[in-house]
Amino acid sequence: MKWRCAILFALVGATGAWVGAALGKATNGQSLLALFGAVMITVGLLMLRQRSEGDNPDVRLDMQSIAILGPRLVATGAATGFASGYFGIGGGFLIVPSLLFATNMPMMDAVGSSLLGVAAFGATTALSYGSSGLVDWPLAGVFVAGGVLGGTIGARLAKVVGRHRRMLAVSFGVLVAHSSLGLVTLASTSEHAFSTRAP
């Protein structure tokens, strides 16, 4: 986990998440779902591409690297945080590629470092939606419990798959792209059902 990179990314992104959440609440739900699916497809396909630059396991944010890493982390953090707040998500599938792009850190480091951003963005967005009375807290609790179980299993699996860097990146991209197709289908189905019920 690259703590300094993760902290800067999360702090800037939390501000972006608050702005994004405010705009997301004013957007039509079906449009939001369809757009979210399209973004996921794009991210998934980008993750399937072989990176032109190799991993830099020694990357760190300090006085020598801040002139280069600082602007990258601020820009990607703000954009990713905004998207996370806008779509109402923790944003892990966006944070990992953003950290890879900004720092060239290894995939496993990006996965670990992304968790700080997920927590910051998720808490900010939940606070925004909760203050507007848009959170079903009992249902959210069930999802959190399931997420803890799934996260524990996933973390153990990632340690095994992580030894094969390319395999982890491809698996990540395929999973995101596959999930996005389901979202796009759901959005189009819901839109069709709404239009047939409309007078």
What are the pLDDT digits (tens) for 103-115?
Answer: 999 888 998 899 9
Which ranges in 91-136 belong to alpha helices (H)?
Answer: 92-103, 107-131
pTM comes to 0.73
By percentage, how much of the chain surpasses pLDDT 90?
38
Is pLDDT of 151 > 60? yes
> Rounded to whole angstroms, how far apart are CA atoms 84 and 159?
26
Q: Give the residue extent of every domain in the chain.
A: 3-197
> Rounded to whole angstroms, how far apart are CA atoms 159 and 153?
10
Which ranges in the chain belong to alpha helices (H)?
Answer: 3-24, 29-48, 66-87, 92-103, 107-131, 137-161, 165-197
Give Cβ neighbours of residue 123 (< 8 Å, ≥ 6 apart): 14
Among 16, 34, 4, 40, residue whose Cα is nearest residue 125:
16
**Residue 165 vs residue 20, higher pLDDT:** 20
> Rounded to whole angstroms, how far apart are CA atoms 24 and 47?
26
